[in-house]
């Protein structure tokens, strides 16, 4: 789990995990947890003397939330507004190309398969050639592309959650 060093207004230094932010504004002093919703853990005073205790409470709540909630995902949910097709996120096409030496063009869909901690993979779903292309084949290819994308998203979220929980366990063991 990523951590960073923070020096608060009173001069005290803290090591703070990702997902917790320091709030020092007028009469509000504390640590804000930002994971599965927000919650403020107040220092209980304006001098910063309770910052250590409130940070410990925030970190304990962070570990509890990581243990029971799925990891937040950075996967895109909605298509870009510039996307001109009605295909879901991560699927584009149909792409039409003429391979070297071929006399008939072929079409396919391109699917982006996300992988946690790695670059996404591209997968091509064949639809047909100029001679064999039909609406039914297109619909079958779209259904297969959606199925592949959804399976990859589920695997991504599971891997992200496992990684987040493992990092949380390592941090809490220290």
User: Rounded to whole angstroms, how far apart are CA atoms 88 and 109?
Assistant: 12
User: Rounded to whole angstroms, how far apart are CA atoms 1 and 174?
Assistant: 12
Domain carrying residue 16 = 3-68
What pLDDT sits at residue 11? Answer: 87
Count of structural domains, the chain: 2
Q: pLDDT under 70 in the chain at which residues?
A: none
Domain boundary among 18, 53, 68: 68
**What percent of the chain is modeled with pLDDT above 90?**
66
**Number of neighbours of residue 134 by Cβ within 10 angstroms:** 10
What digits encode the pLDDT tens for the residues 60-94? 999 999 999 988 877 877 888 888 888 999 999 99
Is this structure's pTM higher than 0.95?
A: no
Residue 86 domain-assigned (yes or no): no
């Amino acid at each position: 789990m990523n951590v960073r060093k923070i020096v608060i207004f009173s001069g005290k230094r803290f090591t703070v995990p990702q997902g917790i932010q320091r709030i020092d504004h007028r009469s509000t002093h504390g640590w804000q947890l930002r994971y599965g919703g927000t919650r403020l853990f107040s220092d209980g005073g304006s001098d910063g003397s309770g910052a250590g205790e409130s940070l410990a409470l925030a970190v304990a709540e962070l570990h509890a939330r990581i243990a029971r909630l799925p990891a937040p995902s950075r996967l895109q949910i909605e298509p870009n507004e510039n996307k001109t097709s009605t295909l879901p996120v991560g699927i584009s096409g149909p792409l039409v190309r003429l391979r070297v030496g071929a006399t008939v063009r072929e079409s396919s869909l391109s699917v982006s398969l996300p992988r946690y901690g790695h670059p996404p993979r591209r997968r091509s779903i064949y639809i047909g050639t100029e001679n064999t292309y039909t609406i039914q084949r297109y619909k079958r290819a779209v259904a297969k592309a959606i199925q592949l994308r959804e399976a990859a998203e589920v695997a991504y979220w599971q891997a992200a959650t496992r990684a987040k929980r493992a990092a949380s366990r390592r941090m809490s063991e220290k």
